[in-house]
Structure 1
Amino acid sequence: MKLLVKKQVSTFIFSFWLLFSLASSVPGLKNDEKVRGVNLGGWLVIEGWIKPSLFDGIPNGDMIDGTKVQLKSVNLQKYVSAENGGGSNVTVSRDVPSSWETFRLWRVSETEFQLRSTEGQFLTCEGQGCVVSATTEVPGTNEMFYIEKLSNSSRVHIRLDSGAYLQAMTENQLTADYPGTPDWDDNAATFEMTIVANNIHGDFQLANGYGHAKAKQVLEEHRNSFITIDDFYFISKHGINTVRIPVGWWIAFDPDPPAPFIGGTLAALDNAFSWAQTYNIKCIIDLHAAPGSQNGMEHSASRDGSIDWPTSQEYINKSLHVIDFLASRYATHPGLLGIELLNEPGAPDVPLDTLVSYYQQGYQIVRKYSQTVYVIICQRIGDADPLELYHADIGSTNLVVDLHYYNLFSDFFVNMSSAAEIDYIFKGREAQLQQLNAANGPLVFIGEWVNEWNVTSGSQQDYQKFGKAQLDVYNEASFGWAYWTLKNDRKHWDFEWNIRNQFLELSNSAGSQVFNAIMYLGLICSSLYLNNIL
């Protein structure tokens, strides 16, 4: 009888231990713990808002690639318009500007530009006396315009390479036939240029804005100083066991990637793996910027906000080539934990069937080199349900779905109180995590989150409570989480600043406290039970 009880108690203890160890286990990490990570954003893929000073030296920096402009004739007091958004002649006929009257700049030099309509066609003019239309799909010399600016003014002149200036004499056309060189008075060749948006500051804008030689110097200095081995020491000291490293597609073509991109990211990634190994940290490589852009944002290296990745098989094949390159180079490296196939594909611009097909092919590519490396697939941003990826047959082993949780970028959180935001973390986010954890499919990874919100007057204590709530909930993700990002010009986004200034307290999360308390209680109960019956 006593032997039977001993066996029952032993089974109870083992089952108790197994239950909780499996709930917090990611094989490949030390002690099979879950991912507690931080992103190295803004390092190998540039995001201007993370470090704005990188763009300070670009000449005529308010007219970089992707800048949206509107042009108003001072003679007619009408706006230049690409009728129907492009595909026909250009008029100067609108009193109030909207989408047809907005053009995206493609920068050729400090003063030379191509102008793209909302439907994607470029303004074109064949020479002296021509009528400007928005009918060209691929820009060339006929689509080149010199924009001359009056100092300290919004007034501009626009001329062709031949020297002919554009003018607006009638509402139904824009022509290249102004006689001579215009003054800056209210003549037909003078326009008021309004910069509507100048919010894309990525790798393309930096490299094309500076030019190759200067951009190479700027990026070399940035890559050598923004993230160093000292940062890996810092994060390891604070319990971080993983870094998620965003890379751009051009890394596969180092050291001489296609223009305007600048080589050197591959050497920097090699350094990261070496530093990570020094401090027993694992690496996730994340394809953050795909050719053609998968979401139109600066962190996808978009030139002008267009989302062309899903519309071109060439872009998809090139992305798969990048995954093959990364997997073949790092799959057997002891520091690699996972490869993320694509960051934040946009919905609905990226159709689900296109994305699933890409993920299936990417999964097989990684499996060609390793059966254990985690393959991470990111949910579509926008109006998309992450369960859609659980219903897709992408892969059978070591597959992870990446969710990005921000209490920002949505009207839903505007004017929400700190208490309401924290309550949403527990009621909304936790419920979704529990649903996904219970689903028969991939592990769950909160690959991006931040200790920032729309609460404008939050105290240090408010931030601590908000951070603690997120950690409590995100610790439940079956794969783990990664903070966005290690360093940032905006202090509450900066992981190091949050830790040093005690706005985020990693060791005090209720999830780990509850787990430890339950384990401790279980051991005590088991011990007492054994003592009473033996």
Structure 2
Amino acid sequence: MELVLSHWVFAFWLSCWFFVSPTYSVEGLPNDSKVRGVNLGGWLVIEGWIKPSLFDGIPNGDMLDGTQIQLKSVTLQKYVSAENGGGSNVSVDRDSASSWETFTLWRVSESEFNFRTTHGQFLTCGSAGCSVFATADTPHINETFQVERNNNGRVHIKLKTNGAYLQATTGNQITADYPQTPGWDDNSATFEMAIIANNLHGDYQLANGYGYNKAKEVFERHRNTFVTVEDFEFLYRHGINTVRIPVGWWIASDPDPPSPFIGGSLEALDNAFSWAESYEIKCIIDLHAAPGSQNGMEHSSSRDGTTGWPTNSDYISQTLDVIDFLASRYSKHPALLGIELLNEPSEVSVPLDLLVSYYKRGYDIVRKHSASAFVILCQRIGNADPMELYQANIGSHNIVVDLHYYNLFDTFFSNLNASDNIQYIYKSRQAQVQALSSANGPLLFIGEWVNEWDLMNGSRLEYQEFGKAQLEVYNAASFGWAYWTIKNDRKHWDFEWNIKNGYLQLGYSLRVEGFSLFRFLGLILSTFHLLLL
């Protein structure tokens, strides 16, 4: 009987160990846990939708870098068009507007702009009496125009070089020879300006919109108040063990980054590491914005919506230098958990072979400074297969693939009700998380997700169930998850608001994966029964 009892005791503790021990654990995190993280989005990389008030004081704030406009002559009632999308003449002869009639602004000052065509050339006119062409590859003074506006959507445009006003001629051309200062009546120097898109509100737009002196005040105030040590204390109290911190490439040139970027993000990142260490929180540095932009979006600090990073080897080399800078500076810091080499490269613009090459070189750079820091590889956004990075053989150890899950940004989700959204998490997302977490190679990280959906007027209970489903499914990811984002003007995106108001209940994620008291007792009783047979 003593032998049987000893066997039962051993089986009991073995059952406890198997049941309480998590399936995966992340090296560097305490208690064999995984990442339970929050993104510090909108802090060191600006996204205007997170805090729109940052842009409130910019003069002509609807004409920031990247704004798309169309111009129509009030006398001819025709649209200004760059023939063939750029590279040749400019005409005023189109009854309707499409891509050739759309120009993207590069802001020089609050009233001075360059006009970029669909194919990337700039409108140019060198002297009084000249005709306007769309042939300049880079903008200088001859490509800079002053825009005068009234309150009815009408504009006058004149040369910066000598102040000559542009006019639409009866020959359907634009020339810089209007003979006097035009009024706002129907004259050949007056155009109707329609703003077609004003979607970019990133670091470039904020800094260039204000100008250096005012922008420095705005950035300093934002960096000192948006995320503070009190936020780390809040995260610690609610069981968060990791922060993912988006940074821009210009951080490596702090305190004097290239214009128009504003220094100070490096000091803020240093503060975050100190606060994290005080509260036993780990840090993932995420290179969110690469030089030239890897996806054309504001969070990659694109100036005008174009994606230049993959087409310029200098940009890629510069990005690797940034990774080297970050790895060198923080590799010995006890709060560092990992470095994410690039956020959300575009599937359309970034070829897989180029991305894999960059990731391999980035991995080697991080390993030069640290044998243990995790190297995180973000999946291409679009329709790319996540397995492409699992099969790429980028590095030998501590590799993580980052997927971003949103029930948004796709017409598929606009037709789902609350129950459909929840079932999509349990069926589609759960199957992928389980498959990738058990695959050979990198660990899986759900690096961005949010307790929001494309559904109007969801109830508090429905949000709770949606959040519960995501926490249960993403908790199975072998590396863990990170919520987007810590603070946000849109309340359901705001982690702190969700927690304080009970819309997101972290108890689901902080209990041991798969733990159930009833299943646990059942396993013990079954083991005891077998030993008595």
Q: Which range, TM-score by smaller chain?
A: over 0.9
- What is residue 293 of structure 2 aligned with on the other side? 293
The 1:232–1:511 alpha-carbon spacing in structure 2 relative to 1, beyond 3 Å, is: closer
**Distance of 2:478 and 2:513 partners within structure 1:** 17
CA apart distance, 1:59: 1.1
CA apart distance, 1:415: 2.3
Unmatched runs of 5 consecutive residues or more in structure 1 = none
Superposition pairs for residues 353-368 of structure 1, below 5 Å?
A: 353-368=353-368
TM-score (norm 2): 0.96
User: Do structure 1's residue 273 and structure 2's residue 273 form an aligned pair?
Assistant: yes
Alpha carbons 1:13, 1:526 under 8 Å: kept: no
> CA offsets, 1:288-342, max 9 Å, x none?
0100001111111110101000000111011100100000010111100010000
Partner SS, residue 315 of structure 1: helix
Partner SS, residue 441 of structure 2: coil
CA apart distance, 1:4: 9.5
CA apart distance, 1:508: 3.1
> CA offsets, 1:472-505, max 9 Å, x none?
1000100000000000000000000000000000
**Distance of 1:18 and 1:323 partners within structure 2:** 39
**Distance of 2:316 and 2:205 partners within structure 1:** 23
Alpha carbons 1:93, 1:171 under 8 Å: kept: no
The one-letter code of the counterpart of 2:268 is A
**Distance of 1:400 and 1:514 partners within structure 2:** 23
User: Do structure 1's residue 156 and structure 2's residue 132 form an aligned pair?
Assistant: no
CA apart distance, 1:81: 0.8
> CA offsets, 1:377-409, max 9 Å, x none?
000001211111111121110000000000000
CA apart distance, 1:520: 3.5
What number of residue pairs does the alignment pair up? 532
**Distance of 1:22 and 1:530 partners within structure 2:** 25
Superposition pairs for residues 494-513 of structure 1, below 5 Å?
A: 494-509=494-509, 512=512
- What is residue 56 of structure 1 aligned with on the other side? 56
The one-letter code of the counterpart of 1:362 is G
Alpha carbons 1:92, 1:170 under 8 Å: kept: no
The 1:163–1:506 alpha-carbon spacing in structure 2 relative to 1, beyond 3 Å, is: same
Alpha carbons 2:8, 2:528 under 8 Å: kept: no
The 1:189–1:431 alpha-carbon spacing in structure 2 relative to 1, beyond 3 Å, is: same
CA apart distance, 1:3: 6.0
The 1:521–1:4 alpha-carbon spacing in structure 2 relative to 1, beyond 3 Å, is: closer
**Distance of 1:92 and 1:5 partners within structure 2:** 95
- What is residue 77 of structure 2 aligned with on the other side? 77
Alpha carbons 1:472, 1:510 under 8 Å: kept: no
Alpha carbons 2:475, 2:513 under 8 Å: kept: no
**Distance of 1:75 and 1:10 partners within structure 2:** 93
The one-letter code of the counterpart of 1:36 is R
Partner SS, residue 123 of structure 2: strand
**Distance of 1:296 and 1:171 partners within structure 2:** 37
Superposition pairs for residues 341-356 of structure 1, below 5 Å?
A: 341-356=341-356
> CA offsets, 1:78-118, max 9 Å, x none?
11111111111111111111111111100000110001011
**Distance of 1:391 and 1:181 partners within structure 2:** 65
- What is residue 491 of structure 1 aligned with on the other side? 491
- What is residue 306 of structure 2 aligned with on the other side? 306
Unmatched runs of 5 consecutive residues or more in structure 2 = none
CA apart distance, 1:2: 7.4
The one-letter code of the counterpart of 2:158 is R
Q: Bigger CA drift: 208-217 or 175-184?
A: 175-184
- What is residue 224 of structure 1 aligned with on the other side? 224
- What is residue 323 of structure 1 aligned with on the other side? 323
**Distance of 1:510 and 1:18 partners within structure 2:** 18
**Distance of 1:373 and 1:72 partners within structure 2:** 56
**Distance of 1:531 and 1:170 partners within structure 2:** 100
- What is residue 32 of structure 1 aligned with on the other side? 32
The one-letter code of the counterpart of 2:354 is T
The 1:450–1:398 alpha-carbon spacing in structure 2 relative to 1, beyond 3 Å, is: same
- What is residue 426 of structure 1 aligned with on the other side? 426
The one-letter code of the counterpart of 1:508 is Y
The 1:508–1:20 alpha-carbon spacing in structure 2 relative to 1, beyond 3 Å, is: closer
**Distance of 1:432 and 1:331 partners within structure 2:** 32
The one-letter code of the counterpart of 1:499 is I
CA apart distance, 1:239: 0.7
**Distance of 2:441 and 2:518 partners within structure 1:** 27
**Distance of 1:9 and 1:138 partners within structure 2:** 78
The 1:4–1:524 alpha-carbon spacing in structure 2 relative to 1, beyond 3 Å, is: closer
CA apart distance, 1:15: 7.9
**Distance of 1:374 and 1:508 partners within structure 2:** 26
User: Do structure 1's residue 476 and structure 2's residue 476 form an aligned pair?
Assistant: yes
TM-score (norm 1): 0.96
Partner SS, residue 349 of structure 2: coil
Alpha carbons 1:471, 1:511 under 8 Å: kept: no
Alpha carbons 1:9, 1:530 under 8 Å: kept: no
How large is the RMSD of aligned CA atoms in angstroms? 2.1
The one-letter code of the counterpart of 1:158 is I
User: Do structure 1's residue 125 and structure 2's residue 117 form an aligned pair?
Assistant: no
CA apart distance, 1:420: 0.6
The 1:258–1:154 alpha-carbon spacing in structure 2 relative to 1, beyond 3 Å, is: same
**Distance of 2:518 and 2:273 partners within structure 1:** 36
